[in-house]
Amino acid sequence: MAGAAGGEAAVGRRAGLAAMVLLLLGTCGVSTAFGMLLLLPLYVQQLGGTEANFGVVLSAATVTAVLCIGLLIRYPGTLRPHTVVAIAIAVYGLGAAGASFVTGTWTPLVGIGILLGTAWAVVYTATPMVMSEMVTDEARAAYFGYLTGTQQVGIGAGPVVARVLVETDLGFRGTFLVAGAICLAAVALTAAVGFLTPDVRAARARDRGGLAPNAGSVPFWEAVRRIVRSEAVYSLAMILLFACIFTSMTQFQTMFARSQGLDYAVFYVTYTAAVIFSRFVLASMAARFDARLVVASAVSVMALAVAAFLAVGSSDLLYGAASALLGLGYGLGLPSVQARAVNVSEEAVRPRVLPIGGLLFQAAILGFPLFAGWVIADLGYAALFAVLLSLALAQAVIGWWRYSATRSATFLAGPR
């Protein structure tokens, strides 16, 4: 009996490892496609558009993305998370391929932007939900780091790969087709995760006597009320600010580099390397410290990085240093904040916390570029970096405030 149980456990571990690898490979695939589409603003320029026009393309999906993520929040157990991710990747691939058929003028890209933005919003929101079901509370921050680190590998590698491809006969249009093909492989990898992992929500439904997946959940507005009144609300606010900074720094980077005579590959390579280092190396070291201290320190580094972009000028060295600082702060801070939002929430509302965080993140990812594009077109990049610096400083204030509040509460409680 013991031998049989041990064998089943070993099989379970191997299946879990295989599922984790498949999830990360699929994530890397769609993220690479996303990174390749970061050259879309240059294509908008080629078709006669400006930063403000690209902001319109990117923000076109704001409403549809919010609606789709809202459905995930309202009905978190209707489909298994990996199924949602696979469907979203397929739609993203369709949008990437569709971009290759746009010629003459940039305006049809608004429709493509709706597909791309909505699909990526769902991918980014639902993928942590897949991971969350596969790990324990103690391991969640580390594995979120692995997941988002893998995403950054793809996001960083994508523009570099695309840069090589656009200089061949493929051009922008052929490059976007390649991105669509990569998504097909990512769909297959992600769909396979379901064959190797148990349906946790179905098991919970059986425990409730065969009720539907959503039957035992806290009502939607009650869950929102509990989350807003909990410690998780501070993490959600920081997630929103992370998104504004991330989308502005990544989506407009190719245009910024061109305006300064810089090589945008410097940003994507150094930023991505720093994110990977922070999530695969620093994260494990940071686990020994108070999570609030880690978050406060990380967002302070981000503020320093954004300030450094104001002094970059045309220096590739300063450009790389500022990009690396940004990657270190963002790479360590975001997964820590995401994990904390889940860990400080009641068990009954946890299925809704990540989708709510994803909703806030993606609403800012898609909506903020409309404002950022206007700022750049009318006032220049220095004005945009000043705005982003104010957001990063707001994060730092929240981070150090919550850390200080925790220390004070611990001190007042005294030894027990």
Look-up of token digits 């707001």: 394
Predicted confidence at residue 244, as pLDDT, reads 93
Average pLDDT over residues 303-310: 94
Comparing 405 with 114, the larger pLDDT belongs to: 114
Q: Does residue 7 sit within a domain?
A: no
List the structure tokens of 191: 């769909």
Q: Does residue 126 sit within a domain?
A: yes
Q: Does residue 414 sit within a domain?
A: no
Predicted confidence at residue 322, as pLDDT, reads 94
Among the residue ranges 140-149, 177-186, 310-319, the one predicted with the least confidence is 140-149
Tell me: pLDDT of 346 over 80: no
Predicted confidence at residue 112, as pLDDT, reads 92
Q: Does residue 212 sit within a domain?
A: no
pTM to 2 decimal places: 0.73
Q: Does residue 415 sit within a domain?
A: no
Predicted confidence at residue 395, as pLDDT, reads 92
- Round the average pLDDT of the chain to a whole number and report it: 82
* pLDDT digit string, tens, across residues 244-267: 998 899 888 888 998 889 988 899
* CATH code of 260's domain: 1.20.1250.20
Distances (CA, A) of 274 to 147, 229, 270, 277, 278: 15, 35, 6, 5, 6
Average pLDDT over residues 348-355: 72
Q: Does residue 261 sit within a domain?
A: yes
Q: Does residue 12 sit within a domain?
A: no
* pLDDT digit string, tens, across residues 79-127: 788 888 999 999 999 999 999 898 888 889 999 999 998 998 888 888 8
Q: Which domain holds residue 132?
A: 18-198+219-408
Written as one letter, the residue type at 242 is: F
Where does the pLDDT of residue 185 fall: very low under 50, low under 70, confident under 90, or very high at 90 and above?
very high
Predicted confidence at residue 76, as pLDDT, reads 64
* pLDDT digit string, tens, across residues 1-34: 444 444 433 434 555 778 888 989 999 999 999 9
Q: Does residue 210 sit within a domain?
A: no
Comparing 19 with 190, the larger pLDDT belongs to: 190
Domains of the chain: total? 1
Average pLDDT over residues 357-364: 81
Predicted confidence at residue 183, as pLDDT, reads 95
